[in-house]
Amino acid sequence: MSTNQAQIKQLNQLIDSITLYNHQYYVLDEPSVPDSEYDRLMQALIALELQYPELKSIDSPSQKVGGAPLKSFSQVTHQLPMLSLDNVFSLEDFHAFVKRIKDRLKITSSLVFCAEPKLDGLAVSLRYEKGVFVQAATRGDGMVGENITTNIRTIKSIPLKLQGQLGKDFPEVLEVRGEVFMPKVSFDALNTQAKKRGEKSFANPRNAAAGSLRQLDSKVTAKRNLAFYAYSLGFVGKLAENSQATQVNEQLAEQAELTARFFANSHYQRLCQIKALGLPMCPEVRLLKSEQDCDQFYQDILNKRSSLSYEIDGTVLKVDEITQQAKLGFVARAPRWAIAFKFPAQEELTQVEAVEFQVGRTGAITPVARLTPIFVGGVTVSNATLHNQDEINRLGLKVKDTVVIRRAGDVIPQIVSVVLAKRPENACDITFPATCPVCDSTVMKLEGEAVLRCTAGLFCQAQRKEAIKHFSSRKAHDVDGLGDKLVEQLVDENLISTPADLFSLTEIQVSTMDRMGQKSAKNLINALEKAKETSLAKFIYALGIREVGEATAANLANHFCTLTAIQIASFEQLKTVSDVGEVVAKNIVDFFKEEHNAKVVSALAGLMSWPDIITKSVDELPLAEQVFVLTGTLTQMGRSEAKAALQSLGAKVSGSVSKNTHFVVAGDKAGSKLTKAQDLGIEVLTEDELVLLFTKHGVTA
């Protein structure tokens, strides 16, 4: 059906009116028309687009009602990392943070800060191309997040098209970072409806917001009334096809030049510019002229916390001047120029009704306090770990005691103290079991450890479950579809007792499990078949030997090259491996000496395959026999990645500086090791110099 100019004009008028009213309502907080008028215009727009579907565009306000359900979320790589924030919890710590900044900037005058409440939601990045919203992603691990574009389109406060003029008010590509959250009134309404339908309610607005953003059906998200406040810029640049920059340095230079061209040298002013483009900015954001003003802002926000329309858990304070931010830079995954000043942990009183003992993967027996349920820190808490006997002794805790329970943010609930004045007459001591509470085997406490352990190894049902879960986990054999609950079912029904038994499962056996149909069963069997192809390092890590993590497993594989060599290695031979000390060497020897473990390893080895490790001669290793020490925080790579890269070039990586050390790599906040290296006259490399060294030899860390 063709359209005429009158219909196009009518549609554009509707879009312009609705966009204006959205901006007035969600950004300016100054609605000019009643809800009924807004609803009438929206229904008219939807009806017109249904009649003339060729007129519908991706930036139409009608797109906020949700689209067809997705099958899964794809991944998005951030062009600029999405950083997290370091925390402080006291005025003293905040003032120490300010002093560090002043010392680094070499100034004594007051710093200007941009301050805002710390919203209790989820960080997201919004991407606009030529002013049109095209993509949204979660923070993820800071480098890669989930593509939540369809769900973000449903949030009414987020414009699908920027206000202003391309090239004048904003560049071709603009990313805006901010927080998606659920207002308190929306949260209460959501839970009220859930209770009416007999469904499970959400514990807090943050969980509700997270659950809403992770809906594969965006129509569900659209009904949740989520909100968004912008808090910073992300990537600023040109569209790839128009950009002449081909190198990373050129891209960064282009990013800096374009950002400076379009946006002010003030974090606060940038937020105001973002608001002018149509994106909402938290009304509580303030420009503060001194750290004393920051102290007052913190107290003011804390006092009005309960009256705000959204949940917060502190304040965020950022150095306002952008040039100062650039000088301060970053440490690890957080900027040096910003800090989250968290509110005091939320505490409540409750009673310890009982103490039970759980057995972990390595046999560690952990006491867990069963509490009278109490709502604290946004959730209902009914359990708290007590760690070990030493912690119980420190608290002086007894069963039936009244205790102070604390939960701050997402931190695991902990018992802070015992209220002795409320101790009842029937309070009783906490007695650790003489035998394993799961398999009744002997328990023991190793010298130098505070933890009690079951000695039954893979014969203990609890350890079997955890060992199999670890074996199939993502960093080990990564068996897709083998979740924790399924592992527990398989063990409980005696279908498997060791990791090797996984590979004897049949589709028929798996399909009889709860929530496992024929297709899921087939996918799992295929995933297990795929998991047989691995690497020696991953196989060693998957065995779950105590204190043998990924890096140590890789060192063992590279040093011995074969599984047999590792199995028969002596205590002294193992200690020659980088990162393997006396404790780890003893754990490895004890693991392979245990008859039951040896049988499981032998069975697995007959099923697995991995490529041979190609050994190199000394001539092929440019850093052979050179000893490196890594100290401080590395920002461009992890410590384990740098260590592995050095070892691949033949270097030995030591944990301490001595006269035999050839190089010390000093990252941020390098301490005594750097000082000792300087005293001994050892050459010190910066992280940038280390990266250049890797590049020279064709190694990627």
**Of 129, 140, 155, 206, nearest in space to 27 by CA:** 155
β-sheet bridge partners, residue 146: 75
β-sheet bridge partners, residue 415: 405
Count, residues in the chain: 701
Of the listed 56, 106, 118, 195, which one is catalytic? 118
Residue the block writes with tokens 């000093």 = 666
Question: Contact 507/525 with Cβ under 8 angstroms?
Answer: yes
Residues contacting 431, CB < 8 A, separation 6+: none
118 is catalytic: yes
Determine the straight-line distance between the first and last CA of the chain, rounded to whole angstroms: 58
**Of 534, 574, 577, 583, nearest in space to 555 by CA:** 577
CA-angle at 486, arms to 481 and 492, nearest 5°: 155
Secondary structure element (H or E) that encloses residue 345, with its range: none
Q: In what order do the strands lie in the sheet with 122-129?
A: 132-138, 122-129, 173-181, 227-237
Across the chain, which distance is largest between two alpha carbons, in Å? 87
Give Cα 108 to chain centroid, integer Å: 36
Q: Look at residue 201 and give its three-state secondary structure.
A: coil
Question: Contact 414/384 with Cβ under 8 angstroms?
Answer: yes
**Of 208, 217, 305, 325, nearest in space to 264 by CA:** 325
Q: Look at residue 229 and give its three-state secondary structure.
A: strand
Question: Contact 541/588 with Cβ under 8 angstroms?
Answer: no
Amino acid letter, residue 629? V
Catalytic residue set: 118
